[in-house]
């Protein structure tokens, strides 16, 4: 029997999977998947779906898919945020609602990282620091403990966008400080 024409009896009613999906808070695919997993009929309909289909924003219920189309934020991101229970304002932002380190990506960290790169290159005959060396140096400061490699990469991309550095070959250790001049033993 094809899944579309498969019928289920629940609470004295016999309906197709599509009809049950229309009546319940479950999608057709959730009902079908639960059946294939061997769930009993009562459990299929009493267990709430794992991901929310809709959320309340400004007193109005809206589906995750429509929010995704309207805002451009990927639906998987919205589902994950809704599952974590973030506020509606945090749900709609394009920035992640939580950061492990409040300084990661901040102006203070960007300036510190730029100065560190200049200092490192001056001490090492123009050789750029590796990502790991940047992270280890940040761990030694009181303000920037816990900064991840990802935050460093993001901050480097900001410095590049601001025209303060260039990545000469899209390789590690190839950071060029714009306007900087490095010489070997003058």
Distance CA 170, CA 128 (A): 13
**Residue listed under structure tokens 């309340």:** 56
Label the pairing between strands 7-10 and 13-16: antiparallel
Q: Give 136-144's long-range contacts (Cβ < 8 A, gap of 24+).
A: 138/109, 138/112, 138/113, 141/112, 143/103, 143/108, 143/109, 143/112, 144/101, 144/103, 144/104, 144/109, 144/112
Q: Are residues 63 and 24 in the same domain?
A: no
- Identify the domain containing residue 20 by its residue range: 3-46
Q: Considering the domain boundaries, does residue 99 fall inside one?
A: no
Q: Considering the domain boundaries, does residue 148 fall inside one?
A: yes
Would you state the pLDDT for residue 23? Answer: 84
Q: Are residues 112 and 64 in the same domain?
A: no
Q: Considering the domain boundaries, does residue 79 fall inside one?
A: yes
Q: Are residues 88 and 112 in the same domain?
A: no
pLDDT tens digits in sequence order for the chain, 186 residues long: 455 568 888 888 888 888 888 888 787 878 888 888 888 888 888 887 665 667 777 777 788 878 877 777 777 777 777 776 667 777 776 555 445 555 656 788 889 999 999 999 889 888 889 989 998 998 888 677 778 888 888 888 888 888 888 876 666 678 888 876 554 444
Total tally of structural domains belonging to the chain: 3
Q: Are residues 36 and 75 in the same domain?
A: no
Beta bridge partners of 60: 57
Q: Considering the domain boundaries, does residue 102 fall inside one?
A: no
């Amino acid at each position: 029997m094809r899944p579309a024409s498969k019928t289920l009896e629940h609470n004295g009613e016999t309906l197709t999977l599509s009809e049950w999906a229309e009546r319940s808070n479950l999608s057709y695919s959730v009902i079908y998947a639960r059946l294939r997993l061997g769930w009993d009929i009562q459990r299929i309909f009493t267990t709430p779906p794992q991901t929310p289909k809709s959320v309340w924003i400004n007193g109005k219920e809206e589906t995750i898919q429509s929010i995704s189309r309207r805002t451009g934020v990927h639906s998987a991101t919205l589902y994950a945020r809704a599952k974590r229970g973030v506020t509606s304002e945090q749900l709609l932002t394009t920035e992640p609602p939580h950061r492990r380190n409040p300084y990661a990506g901040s102006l203070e960290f960007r300036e510190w990282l730029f100065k560190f790169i200049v200092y490192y290159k001056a001490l090492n005959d123009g050789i750029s620091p590796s990502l790991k060396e940047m992270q280890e140096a940040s761990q030694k400061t009181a303000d920037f403990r816990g900064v991840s490699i990802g935050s460093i990469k993001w901050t480097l991309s900001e410095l590049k966008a601001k025209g303060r550095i260039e990545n000469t070959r899209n390789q590690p250790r190839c950071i060029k400080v714009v306007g900087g001049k490095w010489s070997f033993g003058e």
